Chains A and B, each alone.
Chain A
Amino acid sequence: DGGITQSPKYLFRKEGQNVTLSCEQNLNHDAMYWYRQDPGQGLRLIYYSQIVNDFQKGDIAEGYSVSREKKESFPLTVTSAQKNPTAFYLCASNLNGRGMGGRELFFGEGSRLTVL
């Protein structure tokens, strides 16, 4: 079955440590996204990538880094520079087309990061 796989589902980190969240999709989608979800706030865009080897900052990119070496993979690193990293992180993808078929975002199950 096609879909988006995020891992790990739960992650605990000590302050000062970097952590990488995995996101893999087998939907053959061009575009991939990382969102952060906090209680009482809407999903906020961290980074996005429209094609392989290219990515752009979203609205809250500070303290995060990404790579897009393969079409299927878009890992997110939460660095020690991120001041408040405890959150639910969602990876998404879409065809990046102009019609409706390209617009719908498909989401992974999410990764919950807790900084101790």
Chain B
Amino acid sequence: GQNIDQPTEMTATEGAIVQINCTYQTSGFNGLFWYQQHAGEAPTFLSYNVLDGLEEKGRFSSFLSRSKGYSYLLLKELQMKDSASYLCAVSLNTGFQKLVFGTGTRLLVSP
């Protein structure tokens, strides 16, 4: 079976740094995605990692270790608008783009 684990909820303060972890155990691996989803809205793409290491994109960075089945999303200089759910999704080795999603981490940013 496929298993992706993320914390259910995290809280942080405006201006701070937060790290959201994701561990996975899947049959096949073809990359890992992070999506941001505000309540009642569509998920939007944040990052994609297929090789080990850190990918930085502005205030957001994503890290992957394939040997450990582990990824994290790092958010710096937190803003109130970053309050959202963050979805970790693993792309499997299939004939199509099959994503297996974690349950998502709800991040609450307070002033």
Contacts and interface: CB of A to CB of B under 8 A. Distances in A.
**Which has the most chain B C-beta neighbours within 10 Å: A43, A104, A108?**
A43
Contact of B42 (A45, A48, A90): A90
Interface in A31-51: 31, 35, 40-45, 48, 50
Contacts of A104: 33, 45, 48
Contact of B97 (A35, A41, A105): A105
Given A31-B96, A42-B87, A96-B96, A107 B44 contact: yes
Main secondary structure of the interface of B (DSSP, over half): loop
Interface in A88-116: 88, 90, 94, 96, 100, 102-110, 112
Contacts of B99: 43, 45, 105
A81 B98 CA distance: 25
Interface residues of B, number: 24
A94 B42 contact: no
A93 to B, nearest CB: 10
A18 to B, nearest CB: 25
A96 B31 CA distance: 14
Given A31-B96, A42-B100, A48-B96, A103 B91 contact: yes
Interface of A: 4, 31, 35, 40-45, 48, 50, 56, 88, 90, 94, 96, 100, 102-110, 112
25 contacts: A31-B96, A40-B8, A40-B103, A41-B103, A42-B100, A42-B103, A42-B104, A43-B99, A45-B98, A48-B96, A50-B96, A88-B40, A90-B42, A100-B48, A100-B50, A103-B31, A103-B91, A104-B33, A105-B45, A105-B99, A107-B43, A108-B42, A109-B42, A110-B41, A112-B40
